[in-house]
Amino acid sequence: MRGYGAKRYNVAVMGATGAVGNRFLRILEERAFPVNNIRLLASERSEGKKLKFKGKFYPVEILNHDSFDGIDIVLSSAGASRSLEFLPSAVKAGAVCVDNSSAFRMNEEVPLVVPEVNPEAINRHKGIIANPNCSTIQMVVALWPIHKVAKIKRIVVTTFQSVSGAGQKKVTELREQSKKFLAGKKSASKEFPHRIAFNLIPQIDMFLENRYTKEEMKMVNETRKIMGDPYIRINATCVRVPVFYAHSESVNIETERRITADEIRKILRKAPGIRVVDEPEKKSYPMPADAEGKDDVLVGRIREDESIENGMSMWVVSDNLRKGAALNAIQIAERLCN
């Protein structure tokens, strides 16, 4: 939604030197967001760095409570603790903040928004709008058009999440471990609890008392909040896989009324933010390699679940740093500009 008016906005990017911060700058430029001035904010470790935006290099400033004077919109990819500490100061200075961390997602006073699903929630903000978890975003984009037609009662999802979702150091570890593994050498695991190269780790974030991980419960709780239905039954298993970019999900749903695979394909082809890639006879289906660098959520392998009445299975893939983080936040900011 890019029908910008004449107004231009002063934008601050928190966590500007990180992977998501980098995508913020790239996507703001790609989508011709109406930036008047841009302010790049990061921790003391980034002091002295310069980042390029629209052909010009801007110095990275140290984030502090006075960083938001004159700022209209804050895009934050800082961690939860930094968001909790500094975003109230941004709101006090008059900015509207779109936060990519988990800090405010389940706060009842803070909208949790995916523009293709619940854009009306943006209007309820009190200075902060939360960006959901990357895996949650791509799943609800795919499921919301179906939910509106047939009402989803239950979701069972298994995620296959790339290492970039955990930060640049994890990307480096996968690259280095892969080189050593292929050379027949051993390598220590510093960033992950186990070797990630040529392996799968069925743990993302810490385990909770119910033996689910924090990541898995994020998908449960965030999906219910975004879709506005606290009664949807959701079971999630989140797995880290040796892929650099783009998350994949195996999603199984149960709907209140029967809906066919052909109906779902037709619905999703008309839905915003989705590209249906579903011609298995031609070996055409969504893959992380095809989603990397793309904005759309790719959906394929759509088929009826023959083990349950009104069941359906599908495969959902998306670039976790774009739609799963930076793009979704910028789409929220675009709504603020209209």
Q: Which two tokens stand for residue 329?
A: 């936040």
- The three-state secondary structure class of 48 is coil
Whether 125 is catalytic is no
Residue burial 263-278, b: 16+ Cβ < 10 Å; e: rest: ebeebbeebebbbbbb
* 186-192 contact pairs (CB < 8 A, 24+): 191/166, 191/167, 192/166, 192/240
Among residues 97, 125, 238, 247, the one annotated as catalytic is 247
Write the CA distances from 230 to 105, 108, 111, 276, integer angstroms. Answer: 15, 13, 15, 28
Neighbours of 42 (CB within 10 A): 23
Beta bridge partners of 252: 156, 313
Q: What is the C-alpha separation between 213 and 206, in angstroms, rounded?
A: 5
279, 316, 318, 315: which is closest to 296 by C-alpha? 318
Active site residue 97: no
Pairing of strands 233-240, 274-276: unpaired
- The catalytic residue among 97, 125, 134, 147 is 134
Contact between 70 and 48 (Cβ < 8 Å): no
> How far apart are alpha carbons 68 and 71 in whole angstroms?
5
Which ranges of the chain does DSSP label H, i.e. alpha helix?
19-30, 80-92, 134-150, 168-182, 214-227, 261-269, 288-291, 327-336
Kindly tell me the number of DSSP H helices and DSSP E strands found in the chain: 8, 13
Q: Give yes or no for a contact between 148 and 170, defined as CB atoms under 8 angstroms apart.
A: no
Return the active site residues. Answer: 134, 247
